[in-house]
Amino acid sequence: MNSAPPTQSFDPLDMNQYRIEKLPRRAKGKVEQWLALLGPPVALILFLLFGLLIQLPFLETINPSALSDAAREAFEKSGAEVFARNNAWMLAIFLAAIVLWITEAIPNYLTSLLIIISLVLTGVLPEKKAYAQLGHEVMWLNIMSFVLASMLVVTGVAKRFALWFIIRFGKNASTVFLSFIAINVVLSAFISATTAKAAILLPIFMVVAAIYGARGGENRNNFGRSIVLQNLLYINIGASGFMTGSGANLLAVSLIVGATGSSVFFSDWLVAMFPVSIGLMLLGYLLAMRVYFPLSRAERVPQIEGGMERLKEEYRKLGRINRQEVKSVIIFVSILALWSTDRWHGISATAVAFAGAIVALLPGIGILKWNDVDIPWHLMIFSAGAYALGAGFAVTDLPALSVNAFFDHLGIGQQTPFWRLYLLLTGVMVFSALLFQSKTMRAMIFVPIALGVAQRFGYAAISLALPVAFMIEHVYVLPFNSKPAALLYETDQYSLPDTFRFGFTMMVIAWLINIVAGDTWFRVLGITPHGVLF
């Protein structure tokens, strides 16, 4: 009688056990299944209703003098009737896209392809302009950023830095958590994809969690809850400190620049938000360690003898730092320096990233080959659809027209205080993350609304739109709020109540800090108006 082969034991200190592809995939719940089933018919109904049947009253009496320059040009070229019809189709396409994005009935890149062709077939955008969004300046910045991020991954310098920092400074439980703040800040400056940062860091902090006795499931402890949830917070908040921290930040900036014609520099965003992001991460650390997940004495001591030695062994496997790694560091530090000083030298972030990517790919002196580059083209297509929606908004002026109609209906006049609008718009933006999955989608919805409100009430567009954009990255409360949140939830180190209590508290604090900064720091920087009090 043959005996069954012995089952391979799980080694909690083996980093390969925590690779993304090895994590279990969570099945959709009943609500999610119903949403996916209802998404297509609801989207189709909304598309047909608002495109063909429902005529909104505010589109029947459009005052061309109140339109933006691009929309006024389209109005004069097409005439009032065609312009109103294009606005109706724009609204229909937008509502259908929102339903498909929220319900995830079809992949988000497929929704974007439908958006682009719908804008063409309904006549909202000419083919050349609709298809050109894949060549948008921000799209190229995204692509070049992925080339540069791949350089850090292929050479192993990102992993080397993270391991070195934990080994060097993670002497006890408290300094381990503080080390991950520093690691996330550095990676956020160089890697413009929060999911990529999560993929790099997850094996490292999961091994650290195992060293301190956190195994997940029935063996959860506060160390495991804290290290995963704090990293989820840092991954997203770190991205909020840099304009290039995520594609959604870049999209928001492109919408603002497109609407105003003025520039938003990398250094503008950095000076405004980097101090705020550091403060939020430190507050998150204190709340996690002192309030929500305080560590017992046992949890402050490594539970697996020689555990940190395994991290050192992983670090030793990388060998001595080689020439390619040094070159990648030099390239990226140079890029970061040029990004941070863009206001003074005038070279755009896209051009800087372009030059860096070319150097990284050059035969002989470069660091990686094109086949080494990991570009998520499904995200690029998704972004192209979002930018096409933005182009549609620009030529129809739908956000401004809708905002004006809404405020007119409520009887809110032109004398509304700035701070009432500021509180409303930033609050809606930050708390909308509880319902929406995509940061890009939220930027696509709420930044144009902020631009429309600013236009109606005569405030500078940047005074409302930029603070709204600063709230994009708060997507760490519920598992479906972002890809890193969904990924880290699969570690089974924390429950839904754990992430909601900690995440929602940080979300409220972030909003309050944004309000205080709006009346202090942002005023000093010239973002919000001077002399405007609550």
Instruction: Report the C-alpha gap between 184 and 177 in whole angstroms.
Output: 11
pLDDT in tens, the chain (534 residues): 444 444 445 555 555 555 555 555 555 667 678 888 998 999 999 999 998 888 877 777 777 877 777 788 888 888 888 888 988 999 899 889 888 877 778 887 888 899 999 999 999 988 888 888 777 777 787 778 778 777 877 787 777 877 787 777 777 778 888 888 988 888 888 777 777 778 777 777 777 777 777 776 667 788 888 888 999 999 999 999 998 888 788 888 877 876 666 778 888 899 999 999 999 999 999 999 999 988 888 777 766 666 677 778 877 888 888 888 888 888 888 888 888 787 788 787 778 888 888 888 888 777 888 887 777 777 678 777 877 877 787 788 887 788 777 777 777 666 778 888 899 899 989 998 887 666 877 887 788 888 888 888 888 888 999 999 999 999 888 777 777 887 788 777 888 888 899 999 999 999 999 999 998 999 999 899 875 545
3-state class of 216 per DSSP? strand
Handedness of CA 441, 447, 450, 451 (dihedral sign): negative
Which residues does residue 216 pair with via DSSP β-bridges, in sequence order? 219
The DSSP annotation for 445-471 comes to HHHHHHHHHHHHHT--HHHHHHHHHTT
Instruction: Report the C-alpha gap between 531 and 418 in whole angstroms.
Output: 11
Amino acid occupying residue 190 = F
Nearest 5°: the CA angle 387, 20, 312 is 120
Handedness of CA 267, 273, 276, 280 (dihedral sign): negative
Burial class (CB in 10 A: 0-12, 13-18, 19+), 375: middle
Both tokens of 380, joined, read: 């690029």
Residues in the chain: 534
Residue 150 in contact with residue 368, Cβ under 8 Å?
yes
pTM of the model: 0.74
3-state class of 295 per DSSP? coil
Instruction: Report the C-alpha gap between 112 and 380 in whole angstroms.
Output: 10
Nearest 5°: the CA angle 346, 380, 149 is 65
- CB half-sphere exposure, 375, CA atoms < 13 A: 20
